[in-house]
Amino acid sequence: MCGILGIIHNRKYNLSNNEFKKINQQNFNRGPDNQGIENILISNKFVKLGHSRLSILDLSKKANQPMYSSSERFIISFNGEIYNHLDLRKILNQKKNIKWKTTSDTETLLNLFENYSNQDVLKKIEGMFAFILLDKKENKILVARDIAGEKPLYFCFNNLFTAFASDLKTLTKIPQIKKDIDGNSVQKYLEYNYIPSPNTIYKNIFKLHSASYILLDLNKFTFENVNNYNQLNTIKGIENKKWWNLDFKRKNSQNNNINYYEEKISYELKKSVKQQLISDVPLGAFLSAGIDSSLIVSLMQEFNNKTKTFNIGFEENDYDESYYSKEIAKILSTDHTSYIFTENDILNTIQTTSYAYSEPFADSSQLPTLIVSKLAKEKVKVVLTGDGGDELFGGYNRYIYANRFWKKLNILNPKIRNFIVINLLSLSPMRLLTFLGKRFNLNLNPSSIRKIILKLKSINSELTYYHALTQEWTSDTNILINNHDNKNSFEIEKIFKLNNYLFEEKMMIADFFTYLPDDILCKVDRATMHYSLESRAPFLNKSLIENSFDIPLKYKINKGNSKIILRNLLKKYIPEKLIDKPKKGFGVPIGKMMRGSLKSWTNDILSKNRCSKHGFFDFNIVENEKNNHFNNITNNQYKLWSLIQFNEWFHNVHMQK
C-alpha cells in the first residue's frame, strides 16, 4: 500500500517541483519507505506524479514509483496490490518475451497496459487499487479505483488544475484549492456517521466511486470548475464510468442445495486467501473472534505454519471478546498477541482520530482499530482482515430482524402505527426489550430498539425503512441551523426497486455499495495507514463477491441465525461453542465514559464556544442531547460522538494551515 498524487495544470498555474514535493510528503504515513516524483510536459499541460511507497513486493529501489513501462509509453503512480499478478505474468510471457526488471506487481500492471485495452486490464486484475496512469502515446490519463473501494481516491477539478490523491489532507495542501465546507455533506455525515461517496466534507472535492474510472483526454480536455460529481461527463475530454457492476439478474443456480454453495464459497475463499498471502515482508491477521476473521485465519493456517494474529480486548466485559480470540488462536496454533484496551488508551487515541481520517468520521470502532493497527505494526507490515463478510453473507442484526418488523408495519394504517409507537415508548426500556424480544426473537439492546421505534412514524417504503435502520441523526431533528439538501442516492433508490431480490438482500447490496466502502473500509484503511500497515480483505475477491450475491437468502439467514454458510465452513476448524455465541461487534464503551471519565472532555468539545466556531449546530439541541445522555435519560452516545468528531476535525484539521 502506498500514497499517490497527481496534479495536471496549465501554464497559468505556477507550481514548482519543490512545492510539489512538499505536497507529496503529506502522504508519508501511507508510504514512508520512498518518495518519488515525475514532471512531464504533454499536450501543453504539466503532469506531475507523486508516490509515497510502502514496500511490500520487491523491496529493491527498482520497484520505486512513479514507474515507467519498458517502452516508456506509460508511467504510473499505483497504490494497492494485484494478487493475481504472477498468473498474469505467465499469460504475458506467452504473448511476448518480456525482460522483467523487478518482481513487483506494479511492473506487471504496466505491461498489461502495454498489451491490452484499459477495460480488459481492469477486468483481468484481481486486487485492491487506486492508480494514476499516463499514456504518453495517446496523451490520456486513466484514474481508477478497485471493485469494493478498499483504496481511497480523492479528486478536484478547477479552472487552473486537476488533482488526484490518496488522502484528502494532501489535496487541501495544494495552493489555491478551496476549503469550503459543504452543508449537505454535514447533513449526510450526521445521518450516517460518515460522508457518503462521491461527496467529501468540501464542496469541490470528491471521492471516486468504487469500481469506477476517470479518463482524461489531454488533447481535448480544458480546465473547468466541477461543482457536482455528475458534471464530469458533461465536460469535453472527460469520461467517467463504472468498469464493473453487479449483474442484477439471478442465475439458474437458485435451486441448488446448500452443499453446492458451501463448496463454491470454500473454493473461492481459499483461493483468495492463498493469493493474498503473497508478500516479501512479515504478514499477519486481525483476529476478533468473530466468524469472518476466524475463518480467514483458519484458512491462512492451511498455507502458513504460524500466522501472527492480533486482537484488542476491553476492560468492560460487555465489549470484550479477547477470551474467545485467545481460545481460537490456541486451537488454530497461531502466534497470538492480545492487548487490553484501557480508558487511558481511549483518551490518547481520541487525539489522533481527526488527523488519521482527514474528514469527519464517527464510527467509534475507529478507536480500537487504530490501537490494533499500532499493535500489529510492531511485528508485521501486512494484515488480513474479515471485512466484507457481513455485507456478503448477511451478518448484521438488521438483516435478521428488519423483515419481521416490515411485514407487520406494512399492513398497519399510519394512525394505528402512531398509536402503537406512543404506547411502546411509554414502556420502560427493559419492559420494551422483554415485550418485543419475545415476539420477534430479537438480540438487541433497549437503546437500539427505542431508536427504531421512534422512526416508525416516517416509514412508508423499504427505502425509508432502510434509512431508518442506518441513520443516526434523522434529517428532521433540526440539529443543523440551516436546512440542506436531503436527497437519497439515485443508486440506492434503484437497488430498492429490484423485483427479483428480497428486502434483506437489497439491504446487503445497498450496504456493499455504501456502508462497506465509506465506513468499514475507510475505517480500516485510514487506521492501518496511519501506522504504515497494509490491510487486505480476502472476502472482497471479485468472483467471491459475484457468487455471494447469487446465494439464496435461506443459506445466509435462517431461523434467527446469520452467515449460515460461513458458520458451516468454520465448524471444520473450531468448536461450535466458539462460533454460536452472541456477536459483540468492535465498539467501545464510549457512552459510559461520556458519563464518567470523559464527561468534562465531552462538555469542553461540545461547548457553546467550540460549536460557534463553525456555526453549523443548534447549540440548544446539542445541550439537550448531551444532558439527556449525562442524566441517563437516553443513550445518545452515537449522536454525541458524531458531534465530537466534527468539532475535533474542524479544530485540528480544517483550521490548520
Q: Which of 213, 214, 184 is nearest to 200 (CA)?
A: 184
Instruction: State the cell numbers at 405.
Output: 418488523
Burial class (CB in 10 A: 0-12, 13-18, 19+), 29: buried
Residue 615 has phi, psi (to 5 degrees) of 75, 20
For the chain, the residue count is 657
Burial class (CB in 10 A: 0-12, 13-18, 19+), 590: buried
Determine how many CB atoms are found less than 10 A away from the CB of residue 189. Answer: 25
Q: Distance between CA atoms of 480 and 181, rounded to whole angstroms? A: 14
CA 426 → CA 444, 473, 636, distances in Å?
18, 22, 18
- Is residue 606 within 8 Å of residue 323, measured between CB atoms? no
Q: Distance between CA atoms of 302 and 264, rounded to whole angstroms? A: 18
Beta strand 154-157 pairing with 140-145: unpaired
Beta strand 382-384 pairing with 283-286: parallel
- Is residue 77 within 8 Å of residue 6, measured between CB atoms? yes
2, 156, 522, 611: the catalytic one is: 2
Q: In angstroms, how far is CA 349 from the centroid of its own chain?
A: 20
Q: Distance between CA atoms of 161 and 12, rounded to whole angstroms? A: 9
Q: Which of 184, 193, 186 is nearest to 639 (CA)?
A: 193
Q: Respond yes or no on whether the N-terminal peptide bond of residue 66 is cis (omega within 30° of 0).
A: yes
Active site residue 611: no
Q: Which residues are known catalytic residues? A: 2
